[in-house]
Amino acid sequence: MTKSKRKDSGLAILAFGGNAIIRKGQSGEIHTQFANTRRVLQGVVSLVQNGSGLIIVHGNGPQVGNELFRSQLAASEVPELPLGVLVADTEGGMGYMIQQCLQNVLWKNKLKKPVVTILTQVVCDKNDPHLYEPTKPIGRFFSEADAKRLMNDKGWVMKEDAGRGWRLVVPSPRPVRIIEDDTISMLVEAGIIVIAGGGGGIPIVVEPNGDFEGQDVVVDKDFTASLIGHHVGADTLIIATDIQQVALNFNTPQQVNLSRMTVSEAQRYLNEGHFLEGSMGPKIEASIRFIESGGDRVIIAAPDRIAAAIRGEAGTTITSD
């Protein structure tokens, strides 16, 4: 498949996590999720006003974890749904929410841009060791005592998540191909804002006979955003996360915030262990992949600082050497 050549007014990929929609301490009530989504999307208005194309990739960590928990609680009444199907469910439901919120935000700014959500299947390598190693935290936070009970009762693998509590962790393989990538490219070329790869995309593997087979894992949305960005020829990847800037020695007295990094610096810091696997690590690795495959820059910033970060006034910007 060929990479899109759209570079006229720029093309940006915005990737934001499910934690931007259900924030720490919130129950996840749906009206709150809509309100949080509207706040995140305010930051993209300037991009659209300037004529940039836009693709949105969102995470679903809290949401799909909650759906899995809900499915298990109701197992005595209705059949349980596997994790892969729940990823598809959240991609559709969250896509609707983001699509509607973005339409409202744009229209209030007199921007009548069409927006569409694409259910996106993401191919994973059957030999990827990440397919079998739980590293990706999903769902809500639990106390250590509750986590130990769930590990014992349900056989869950749970880990402490950056001082915020214990969460279920599941395998998170790296995406290698996007099934709908040419469709996404055609929509972008037509001037349509596309929401794709929601929750990192619906994870599948390709069987020897060519059949697609779903997988009960969660793909990291930042890797998927980087892969989509490469195919469509995006120049900017924006990763919205719950910190103001990328930092070395995070959460220690020696913490150093970074406003800019080159790819080689990012790789060195990653190798030195500054960015953890279940936290900033995938974001930095995805950023490196995006720039090395042709992207111009990556911006990592808090959701409410996206517009300022685009101007270089906030967040962390990563560029080529």
The residues annotated with a catalytic role in the active site are 18-19, 136, 221, 283
Alpha carbons 263 and 61: distance in angstroms, whole number: 27
Q: In angstroms, rounded to a whole number, what is the distance separating the alpha carbons of residues 80 and 262?
A: 46
DSSP class of residue 60 equals -
Q: Where are the beta strands (DSSP E) in the chain?
A: 11-16, 53-58, 115-118, 121-124, 134-142, 158-160, 166-171, 175-178, 193-196, 202-206, 212-214, 236-240, 246-248, 256-258, 260-262, 297-301, 316-319
Q: Which two tokens stand for residue 45?
A: 């208005």
Instruction: Identify the helix (H) or strand (E) that includes residue 35.
Output: helix 30-41
Q: Which amino acid is at 54?
A: L
Helix, strand, or coil (residue 296): coil
Question: In 10 A of CB 176, how many CB atoms?
Answer: 14
Residue 170: exposed, middle, or buried by beta-carbon count in 10 A (0-12, 13-18, 19+)? buried
